Chain A
């Protein structure tokens, strides 16, 4: 096991800049998730850690050793690919044993390591099958088995669950997390799905357009997003953003006055973005009027799409809401759950 340091790493393909100086510290045994929209450079960064892409500038160290010029196989890492990359002409056993065979491991070692990985992942019955004869989830497990067998310093996962159906994804999510808790191997995991990031990570790295937007524990990112991008990316349904101005200790949005969070140093007239998560609205008789457009009862909560002035917002109430489309409800934000951002820079103000 080892820590991973990514220091001022840049990547360019020709004149196209992909990464603009990324710094991430991954502690020993930590489960870190790189998350961001498509094209933000997260997969490229992972491939640079694996050694499949070279590093244009900056350095990457694994276990204190700078690996910029170290061949992939010398880096002591194992990677699980998005399409699993199982060798189609090898059985499950041979797929998992391939790296050991290349390393000329004695047969007893090979049997033992493959057997152990198969036990951990419940693949014992499938060892003689070929990848084509497996279901998506089983292939996913074989790909993880191939990584486990090598006993690497670092596990790298490149969007491993994106080819699975929704239900299986939830199961595999738990399985991967459980696996990490048992093996305690440093893990770097790439995904575009913020739910995966929130549920699995010890630490999330939110990336956007080749830059790191924020690094932190899942709930820190949720509670105190550093900027508007992170605020909008983390959380589902997404945070509501209302453009307004600070006036007299309140935020004026479309002629509606909303309370500012405590300790806001908003000078008069400053244009701000008023951010409030759907679940932080409460029904309140003296709240602002909102015109209901659609209600979506999910059982555990009721989501209401409504309009405040001419801004569309989403609310999620724990209680059942009987409001019908076209009716007006009165809602109020929970002041200490409000996030205030600068309209120009998108940076957090409170």
Chain B
């Protein structure tokens, strides 16, 4: 029957018989209800494990709570005393310096390693797997290994330099003097951080089409110019992401330092995170420890804001990718 046939009124007015849906089915059709039920698992995890601890930490920072004694609201007192606390100020300075030097070294060496691994070579996948090893080992375990490497008596570095190569005439006191300890910690952090940087940058390098290098080669670019004009700009977006993560991880580092030096000698290697723990748990001044931890927040926000702008899509990344 054609659609223009208007004589057959019954057919035109035919309506599918309506079935009344159950309460549950109707509830499931409600968008608001569905949104809530789908958000619930993720939100509850976030609230229990992130928002609540963060909120409690911030609250504690404004109290004089100690372990075993509920504190009272003291306003900014904790922060005022920290502002005159030379150990805390030293920790702030050292945390920034630690992050700065470790990040530079990690990215310099990581990029170099990624560029090497991006070439054709034998046993490529095996080498890549080996590169990842430092990242797989639990931090505390590698910290203990470094503890031995830096031991004043049994250090393998001292042994090689003094007993084997005879370049030095006495063993190095790696962890006994402030500056030695600081550089030793940076070295350990760099060793641990390189795989993350190298592997992610390698992934970035592999997204760059080889024909771009061939085109640049025909255009007359030297290897350095190919790196400068092709690799570097195309790697920037992923570099910014990796840099942000790396800075956040390094700034909040705790395990390596606590396991190797515990902030010593004479508090010279305390990071803000280790100092916060030291004051809060062994030192039992929860409020003060929390205040130190809260003092890290502005730095982290600064890093995130920086990355927010650095990560913004560059002009050349806009538009369709229809090739």
Contact = CB atoms under 8 A, between A and B. Distances in A.
A130 interface: yes
Interface string A90-107: 100000001100110000
B319 A81 contact: no
Interface residues of A, number: 31
Contact of A73 (B211, B212, B219): B219
B318 A132 contact: yes
A55 interface: no
B29 interface: no
A72 B219 CA distance: 9
Interface in B297-323: 314-323
Contacts of A163: 323
Interface string B206-231: 00010110111111110001000110
A22 B212 CA distance: 28
A316 to B, nearest CB: 36
B211 A81 contact: yes
Given A102-B225, A163-B323, A85 B316 contact: no
A83 interface: yes
A72 B217 contact: yes
Interface string A72-96: 1100011101111101111000000
Contact of B217 (A73, A83, A103, A150): A73
Contacts of B219: 73, 98-99, 102, 146, 150
A208 interface: no
A35 B184 CA distance: 63
Contacts of A103: 220
A81 B215 contact: yes
B316 A130 contact: yes
B319 A130 contact: yes
A89 B218 contact: no
B220 A89 contact: no
A87 B225 CA distance: 13
A103 B317 CA distance: 27
Interface residues of B, number: 26
A170 B323 CA distance: 18
A130 B218 contact: no
A50 interface: yes
Interface in A48-90: 50-52, 72-73, 77-79, 81-85, 87-90
A247 to B, nearest CB: 56
Given A89-B316, A102-B219, A102-B225, A84 B214 contact: no
B323 to A, nearest CB: 6
A133 interface: yes
Interface in B223-241: 225, 229-230, 233-234
A139 interface: yes
A130 B315 contact: yes
A87 B218 contact: no
A22 B317 CA distance: 43
Given A85-B211, A85-B212, A87-B212, A132 B217 contact: no
Contact of A98 (B229, B317, B320, B321): B229
A155 B296 CA distance: 60
A72 B218 contact: yes
Contacts of B318: 130, 132-133
Contacts of B314: 89
A136 interface: yes
Of the listed residues A77, A130, A136, the one surrounded by the most CB atoms of chain B closer than 10 A to its CB is: A130
Given A85-B209, A85-B211, A130-B315, A78 B218 contact: yes
Nearest to B219: A99
Of the listed residues B215, B230, B323, the one surrounded by the most CB atoms of chain A closer than 10 A to its CB is: B215
Contacts of B322: 135-136
B323 A84 contact: yes
Interface of B: 209, 211-212, 214-221, 225, 229-230, 233-234, 314-323
Interface of A: 50-52, 72-73, 77-79, 81-85, 87-90, 98-99, 102-103, 130-133, 135-136, 139, 146, 150, 163
> Sorted from nearest, which 6 A-B pairs have the closest CB atoms?
A132-B319, A99-B219, A73-B220, A85-B211, A85-B215, A133-B319
11 contacts: A72-B217, A73-B218, A79-B215, A79-B218, A85-B215, A87-B215, A102-B221, A132-B320, A133-B318, A133-B319, A136-B322
